[in-house]
């Protein structure tokens, strides 16, 4: 069901083009001011010069044509350059009823087979705040795309091989003393991350010692024994050394178990996993093919490169001189494997903006290898997440651990909910469920309300505020409406004839009417922030309306029934919009 504003806007575009030769984007119609007759207003001033007509005359002509072409338009009046449109008397009441009865519009014109990649962790450390933004963004984009009718497969590629995991393995060999997650009583990803940090400390110490003997800093960084040890492990891994593979499999298994726990807490999931250890070989085969065909070139040391200077880029390494793979090797193989698996109409890579250059190169490499479907690949680039305390660094152990942050959000939600009396009358189990729902809702909404392209500052306490542009504010409004519905349950208000919508109710009905348009736009732009902004604006508008209009206690016939139905529609829109952001809305608070 298309929003009436969209229907009228497109009709105005057609009229301006056919009657006056004016080409324009669809205009934004406004709710008519209270002192004038009508419900929706078109401002015609922007078109008068191109149409060669004074504003009142142009408004009159457009109004006449709209009366002929759009059945919902019942009349109009012109005030200078403002065209105030009146819709048939029962239009908005009928619109409310149809929105309650109809599911949101999920019929994109051309449904696509899409793959959305997100998370993509390394197996040398636990997930952190940056991963949280990645996961929430990728998961929400997937749900929004599905909501408008696309067929979506959610995937992650696990970076389970390479020098990073070999560093953790080397540190464990040197300092682990047989430690396991069970023996240490900790999650496996945290244990492996400990050894990654230990390697960095070991490396810095060895570099300093070598420099004290007269080595240059550059030489010391290359000759540090622990780095040479990690590089040796990587070569032995690629040579399928059984001892190295056994340790690699065991340490990775610890990490996978830890990841699954975090994903479950965060409420995200995947349809399929890809592993770099499996796809990098396909990438190496493709690179050899490109080398044979002259797409790539080899340098004297045997490393393989591509020259992209004609694209305004530079030369990019695809394979090291010792034959070991780089990230690009794996990404080439993974992309090809996904095309084999799904025959893609498109793929979305949810990866931070520091990798924009990498994906420009990847897409060009695939096209030059003859894979024209690579033109349908898209990098969903997002900004960095910082805390008031500053930037995070994994190797130095200064990241904000995802599990710790989730627990902190629940505890903060508990403290604030109790202080505000939001849990009065709830049982112990209901309280714990509410703390989790509010804490995670605060985290998810606060992150997803920010446009993906922007860097953001995450403030845990600010996110759990029950006032303002926050998840808890929206959740509380939803709970308040559900409370109204419970009070009215079984009463005649649920079956009574509705009164006609007044101006205040029309504003809310019209806002609810825009949900489908917002959803489709968010899907086209891969931007959950648009859904978040819509839900907040709807929630804010409802609260303003609720403070000035009694829902259940009205003497005028049918008014309470109409307002109760409108409240239900608002709650449904809030619940559905928040679901697409991964946020649950409580029934009681």
- The answer on 413 and 521 residing in a single domain is yes
Label residue 241 exposed, middle or buried (CB < 10 Å: 0-12, 13-18, 19+). Answer: middle
- The answer on 412 and 379 residing in a single domain is no
- The answer on 194 and 301 residing in a single domain is yes
- The answer on 151 and 180 residing in a single domain is yes
Residues for the chain: how many in total? 589
Q: Which of 386, 418, 452 is the last residue of a domain?
A: 386
In a domain, 369, yes or no: yes
Asked whether the beta carbons of 126 and 193 are under 8 A apart, the reply is yes
Domain count of the fold of the chain: 3
CATH number at residue 209: 3.40.50.620
In a domain, 42, yes or no: yes
Bridging pattern class, strands 456-457 and 385-386? parallel
- The answer on 382 and 419 residing in a single domain is no
Range of the domain at 24: 4-88
E-assigned strand segments in 44-195: 73-79, 82-87, 113-117, 151-158
- The answer on 186 and 60 residing in a single domain is no
Q: Which of 386, 415, 438 is the last residue of a domain?
A: 386
Q: Which residues contact 121 (CB under 8 A, 6 or more apart)?
A: 127, 131, 156, 158, 159, 259
Give the confidence band of 397 by pLDDT, cuts at 50, 70, 90: very low
In a domain, 399, yes or no: no
Residue 477 has pLDDT above 80, yes or no: yes
- The answer on 487 and 414 residing in a single domain is yes
Distance, CA of 121 to CA of 169 (rounded, Å):
17
- Provide mean pLDDT across the span 231-245: 94
Q: Look at residue 586 in the predicted model and tell me its pLDDT.
A: 93
- The answer on 225 and 274 residing in a single domain is yes
pTM of the model: 0.88
- The answer on 343 and 194 residing in a single domain is yes
No. of H helices and E strands in the chain? 22, 14
Residue 394 has pLDDT above 50, yes or no: no
Q: Look at residue 396 in the predicted model and tell me its pLDDT.
A: 45
In a domain, 114, yes or no: no
- The answer on 277 and 327 residing in a single domain is yes
In a domain, 478, yes or no: yes
Q: Which of 352, 386, 420 is the last residue of a domain?
A: 386
In a domain, 274, yes or no: yes
- The answer on 378 and 417 residing in a single domain is no
In a domain, 525, yes or no: yes
User: Where is average pLDDT lowest: 145-159, 249-263, 478-492, 493-507?
Assistant: 493-507
For residue 155, which of 354, 351, 327, 329 has the smallest C-alpha distance? 351
In a domain, 331, yes or no: yes
- DSSP secondary structure of 296-360: SEE-TTS-EEEE-GGGT--EEEEE-TTS-B-HHHHHHHHHHHHHHHH--SEEEEEEEGGGHHHHH
Q: Look at residue 538 in the predicted model and tell me its pLDDT.
A: 97
Q: What is the pLDDT of residues 304-326, one digit of tens each?
A: 999 999 999 999 999 989 887 88
557: tokens are 């016939």
Q: What is the pLDDT of residues 127-141, one digit of tens each?
A: 998 899 999 999 999
């Amino acid at each position: 069901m298309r929003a009436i504003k969209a229907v009228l806007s497109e009709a105005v575009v057609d009229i301006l083009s056919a009657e006056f030769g004016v080409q324009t984007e669809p205009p934004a119609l406004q709710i008519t001011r209270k002192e004038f007759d009508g419900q929706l207003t078109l401002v015609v001033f922007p078109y008068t010069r191109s149409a060669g007509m004074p504003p009142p005359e142009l408004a009159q002509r457009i109004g006449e044509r709209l009366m002929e072409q759009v059945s919902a338009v019942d009349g109009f009046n012109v005030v200078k350059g403002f065209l105030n449109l009146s819709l048939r008397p029962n239009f908005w009441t009928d619109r409310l009823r149809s929105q309650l009865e109809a599911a949101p519009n999920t019929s994109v014109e051309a449904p696509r087979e899409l793959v959305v990649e997100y998370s993509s962790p390394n197996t040398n450390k636990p997930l952190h705040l940056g991963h949280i933004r990645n996961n929430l963004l990728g998961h929400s984009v997937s749900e929004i795309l599905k909501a408008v009718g696309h067929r979506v497969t959610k995937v992650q590629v696990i970076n389970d091989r390479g020098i990073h995991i070999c560093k953790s393995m080397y540190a464990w060999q040197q300092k682990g003393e047989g430690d396991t997650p069970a023996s240490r009583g900790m999650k496996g990803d945290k244990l492996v991350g400990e050894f990654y940090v230990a390697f960095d400390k070991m490396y810095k110490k060895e570099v300093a010692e070598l420099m004290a003997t007269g080595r240059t800093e550059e030489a010391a960084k290359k000759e540090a024994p622990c780095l040479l040890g990690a590089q040796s492990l990587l070569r032995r891994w690629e040579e399928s050394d059984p001892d190295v593979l056994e340790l690699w499999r065991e340490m990775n298994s610890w990490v996978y178990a830890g990841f699954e726990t975090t994903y479950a807490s965060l409420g995200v999931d995947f349809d399929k996993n890809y592993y770099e250890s499996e796809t990098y070989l396909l990438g190496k085969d493709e690179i050899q093919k490109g080398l044979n065909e002259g797409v790539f070139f080899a340098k004297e040391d045997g490393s393989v490169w591509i020259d992209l200077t004609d694209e305004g880029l530079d030369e990019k390494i695809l394979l090291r001189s010792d034959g070991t793979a780089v990230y690009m090797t794996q990404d080439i193989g993974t992309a090809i494997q996904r095309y084999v698996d799904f025959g893609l109409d498109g793929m979305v890579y949810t990866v931070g903006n520091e990798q924009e250059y990498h994906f420009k190169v990847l897409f060009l490499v695939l096209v030059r290898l003859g894979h024209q479907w690579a033109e349908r690949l898209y990098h969903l680039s997002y900004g960095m997440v910082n805390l008031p305390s500053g930037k995070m660094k994994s190797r130095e152990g200064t990241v904000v651990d995802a599990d710790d942050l989730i627990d902190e959000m629940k505890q903060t939600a508990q403290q604030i909910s109790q202080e505000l009396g939001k849990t009065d009358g709830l049982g112990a189990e209901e309280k714990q469920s509410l703390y989790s729902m509010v804490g995670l809702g605060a985290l998810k909404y606060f992150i997803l309300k920010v446009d993906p392209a922007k860097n953001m500052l995450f403030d845990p306490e600010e996110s759990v505020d029950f006032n303002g542009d926050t998840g808890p504010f929206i959740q509380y409004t939803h709970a308040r409406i559900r409370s109204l519905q419970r009070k009215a349950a079984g009463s005649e208000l649920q079956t009574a004839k509705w009164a006609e919508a007044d101006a205040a109710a029309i504003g809310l009905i019209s806002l609810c009417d825009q949900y489908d348009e917002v959803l489709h736009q968010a899907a086209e732009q891969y931007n959950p922030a648009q859904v978040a902004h819509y839900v907040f604006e709807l929630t804010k508008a409802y609260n303003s309306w609720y403070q000035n209009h009694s829902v259940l206690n009205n003497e005028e016939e049918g008014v309470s029934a109409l307002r109760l139905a409108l409240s239900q529609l608002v709650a449904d829109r809030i619940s559905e919009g928040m679901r697409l952001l991964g946020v649950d809305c409580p029934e009681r608070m």
